[in-house]
């Protein structure tokens, strides 16, 4: 076997790992339901929200899927911070009155968009002011997400205050560490293979 052909693969994996290490990528997930609203409601609607934060690019990639709503959608956004983790209410932190491009007037749908957190337009103007500017708003939102004090909800004609919502949280750190460990073991295995095949 030509061992020189594997060097670009190893180099590519190493560069990808180094690039990933340079950026702190945080992944948040939440299940949306009427029971998670405050006060809770009996909506049969459900949904899933996912947000990925990149602290180098200063972006928040938000995806939402929902179905079974009783009312027609009127808005969706993220709120922060609540006083206590995973409970209570807070003001709107992100784009008002709704995420740009969020499907309105429907009972089911999907949303996929990336917020540029260096732009004031990605936030509620009041949230920017309360946090001393755009950089402060970004820091405050990420702090709320990291501490279980931010939720995403979907407002509808039947539930103007929110028909379904879910707090966004970071997956278990042990899971993230395990994935990183498996990646490093893979790189070591490739390195050993290259050494022994000479």
Cα 86 to Cα 28: distance, rounded to the nearest angstrom: 13
Domain span including residue 158: 25-192
Query: In this structure, is residue 7 part of a structural domain?
Result: no
- Mapping DSSP to helix (H, G, I), strand (E, B) and coil, where does residue 83 land? coil
**Total count of domains within the chain:** 1
Query: In this structure, is residue 159 part of a structural domain?
Result: yes
Query: In this structure, is residue 8 part of a structural domain?
Result: no
The CATH number linked to 178 is 2.60.40
Banded model confidence at residue 198, pLDDT cuts 50, 70, 90:
low
Q: What is the DSSP string of 113-138?
A: EEEETTSGGGB-HHHHHHTTSHHHHH
- Give this prediction's pTM: 0.76
Query: In this structure, is residue 188 part of a structural domain?
Result: yes
Query: In this structure, is residue 14 part of a structural domain?
Result: no
Q: pLDDT tens for residues 126-184?
A: 999 999 999 999 999 999 999 999 999 999 999 999 999 999 998 654 334 444 444 44
Query: In this structure, is residue 15 part of a structural domain?
Result: no
Q: pLDDT tens for residues 19-63?
A: 444 678 999 999 999 999 999 999 999 999 999 999 999 999 999
Query: In this structure, is residue 46 part of a structural domain?
Result: yes
């Amino acid at each position: 076997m030509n061992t020189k052909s594997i060097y670009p693969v190893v180099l590519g994996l190493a560069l990808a790992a180094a690039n990933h290490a340079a950026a702190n990528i945080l992944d948040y997930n939440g299940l949306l339901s009427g029971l998670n609203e405050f006060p809770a409601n009996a909506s049969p609607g459900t949904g899933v929200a996912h947000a990925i934060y990149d602290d180098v690019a200063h972006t928040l990639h938000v995806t939402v899927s929902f179905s079974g709503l009783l009312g027609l959608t009127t808005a969706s956004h993220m709120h922060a911070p609540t006083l206590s983790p995973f409970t209570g209410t807070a003001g709107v932190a992100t784009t008002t009155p709704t995420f740009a491009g969020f499907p309105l007037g429907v009972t089911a749908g999907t949303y996929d968009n990336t917020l540029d957190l260096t732009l004031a337009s990605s936030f509620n103007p009041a949230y920017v002011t309360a946090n001393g500017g755009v950089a402060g708003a970004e820091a405050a939102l990420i702090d709320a997400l990291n501490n279980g004090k931010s939720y995403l909800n979907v407002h509808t004609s039947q539930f103007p205050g929110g028909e379904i919502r879910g707090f966004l949280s970071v997956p278990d750190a042990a899971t993230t560490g395990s994935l990183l460990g498996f990646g490093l073991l893979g790189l070591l295995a490739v390195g050993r293979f290259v050494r022994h095949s000479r």
